Amino acid sequence: MTATATRVLVLNSGSSSVKYQLLDMRDGARLAAGLVERIGEGTSRLAHTPLATGGEKRETEGAMADHEAALKAVAAELAADGLGLDSPQLAAIGHRVVHGGLEFTEPTVIDDAVLEEIERLVPLAPLHNPANITGIRTARALRPDLPQVAVFDTAFHTTMPEHAARYAIDVATADRHRIRRYGFHGTSHAYVSRKTAALLGKDPSEVNVIVLHLGNGASASAVAGGRCVDTSMGLTPLEGLVMGTRSGDIDPAVTFHLKRVAGMSEDEVDELLNKKSGLIGLCGDNDMREIRRRIDAGGEDGERARLAFDVYIHRLKKYLGAYSAVLGRVDAVAFTAGVGENAAPLREAAIAGLEEMGMAVDADLNDRRSDEPRLISPEYARVAVAVVPTDEELEIAQQTYALVSA
């Protein structure tokens, strides 16, 4: 890496999409950002925003047969802005990798052995790791000489104590099949818990934080002194909070019941719990804005939306209680991601009635809109309640740059 190499390209490769951002690590400035969708589906779409020049978003449509074609198209867009992948200023590419198992506790420079290890983890994340691997292979082929770093969604949670990570099932079976709580959204939980400490003017080692990452997927974590001690997602991202389309916590016997009594197949149950449950299962909508609109409109339809909202809030409160007990002392609760950052009524409802736990929300502060981390609790509250916008791309870029510039 040359002394002038200060840029990091962050790639988040999904099964039919690639999200990317190019950042300058001198100040964290975003130089370009974009998204390729519908890769391999006839008409693919690339939306590229050249942030460095303040240019307009450029959208192109065309057939991109695979990730290689998609990344080449991204490279061409970047090159058109003088930010091509061949630039000596590019220090590294950082890849989001969903599952790192117990093997990867830190961001890791990718070589053949690391790639093989990530492949070995595919059975634990069959929907995600294969796409991440394809993104890595393609990027390595385009720039074989450039350091590429894997940043794992599970890594932040590997500090969980054994009693939090273990399911109470037969130990030999669990170990043979690597069944345990891994947790996800780790990059976000790491970033937000650190930012929350900074908002309080403290070092992360000094504070205990409950992070509520509430997006379409949702997870809670208990972070003690900067280390994760528990998190709500488990072997897969299905466990825990109510989500847009996922059930979260459920009696596992429901799955046997659906198979035995409703005659559903394994795949049908999988689809029901992952795609047709959560908010969408409860009321037909997974967008919190639409749910609020229906509640406000009232009537029978509003009642249905209200039930979905109430189930969501009830689950959140249960986790706030559980993680308060796990942490012993809570200094802050941080709301983040699409719902957590934007849905003020939801934050108010989640914290309502928790005064005895030291938690309260100030209505005016809660309603104020801002992109900055901010407190929404009144001064008298023992626990700081905060809204802390997450930035997984920046966190991946920072972890990547720290590793390659060390």
Q: Of 308 and 383, which has the nearer Cβ to ligand AMP?
A: 308
Q: Could you say whether residue 245 binds ligand AMP (CB under 6 A)? A: no
How far apart CA 21 and CA 141 sit, in angstroms, is: 19
For the CB of residue 340, give the shortest distance to ligand AMP in the complex, in Å.
8
For the CB of residue 241, give the shortest distance to ligand AMP in the complex, in Å.
13
Give the residue, chosen from 343, 349, 384, 387, that forms a contact with ligand AMP under the rule CB under 6 A. Answer: 343
Q: Of 255 and 342, which has the nearer Cβ to ligand AMP?
A: 342
Beta-bridged to residue 62, according to DSSP, are 44
For the CB of residue 213, give the shortest distance to ligand AMP in the complex, in Å.
8
List binders of ligand AMP among 278-317 (CB under 6 A).
286-289
> Given the rule CB under 6 A, which of 70-78, 250-258, 304-312, 333-341 is the region that contacts ligand AMP?
333-341
Residues identified as active-site: 153
For the CB of residue 14, give the shortest distance to ligand AMP in the complex, in Å.
13
Contact predicate 272/258, CB 8 Å? yes
Q: Of 186 and 244, which has the nearer Cβ to ligand AMP?
A: 244
Q: Could you say whether residue 338 binds ligand AMP (CB under 6 A)? A: yes
For the CB of residue 346, give the shortest distance to ligand AMP in the complex, in Å.
7
Contact predicate 295/309, CB 8 Å? yes
> Given the rule CB under 6 A, which of 1-9, 234-242, 339-347, 368-376 is the region that contacts ligand AMP?
339-347
For the CB of residue 282, give the shortest distance to ligand AMP in the complex, in Å.
13
For the CB of residue 94, give the shortest distance to ligand AMP in the complex, in Å.
19
Length of the chain: 406
> Given the rule CB under 6 A, which of 63-71, 125-133, 332-340, 370-378 is the region that contacts ligand AMP?
332-340
How far apart CA 282 and CA 279 sit, in angstroms, is: 5
Give the residue, chosen from 94, 147, 237, 244, that forms a contact with ligand AMP under the rule CB under 6 A. Answer: 244
Q: Of 158 and 219, which has the nearer Cβ to ligand AMP?
A: 219
How far apart CA 397 and CA 28 sit, in angstroms, is: 8
Q: Could you say whether residue 342 binds ligand AMP (CB under 6 A)? A: yes
CA-nearest of 108, 316, 84, 120 to 220 is 316
Q: What contacts 332, CB < 8 A, 6 or more positions away?
A: 196, 197, 199, 200, 207, 208, 209, 210, 383, 384, 385, 386
> Given the rule CB under 6 A, which of 43-51, 58-66, 193-201, 336-344 is the region that contacts ligand AMP?
336-344
Give the residue, chosen from 242, 337, 350, 396, that forms a contact with ligand AMP under the rule CB under 6 A. Answer: 337
> Given the rule CB under 6 A, which of 22-30, 74-82, 170-178, 338-346 is the region that contacts ligand AMP?
338-346
Q: Of 129 and 286, which has the nearer Cβ to ligand AMP?
A: 286
Give the residue, chosen from 183, 215, 226, 237, that forms a contact with ligand AMP under the rule CB under 6 A. Answer: 215
Q: Could you say whether residue 216 binds ligand AMP (CB under 6 A)? A: yes
Which residues in this chain contact ligand AMP in the complex, by CB under 6 A? Answer: 215-216, 244, 286-289, 337-339, 342-343
